[in-house]
Amino acid sequence: MLNSSTGWVLITLMTAGLVLIIWALAEPALSGVFDAAIARVMGY
**Nearest 5°: phi and psi at 2?**
-80, 135
Instruction: Give the C-alpha separation, 14 to 8, whole Å.
Output: 10
Closest Cα partner for 22 from 32, 14, 10, 11?
Answer: 14
**pLDDT (tens digit per residue) in 1-39:** 567 778 899 999 999 999 999 999 998 888 899 999 999
* Single pTM value for the model: 0.54
Q: Which amino acid is at 3?
A: N
Instruction: Give the C-alpha separation, 12 to 34, whole Å.
Output: 29
The pLDDT of residue 30 is 87
Instruction: Give the C-alpha separation, 5 to 9, whole Å.
Output: 6
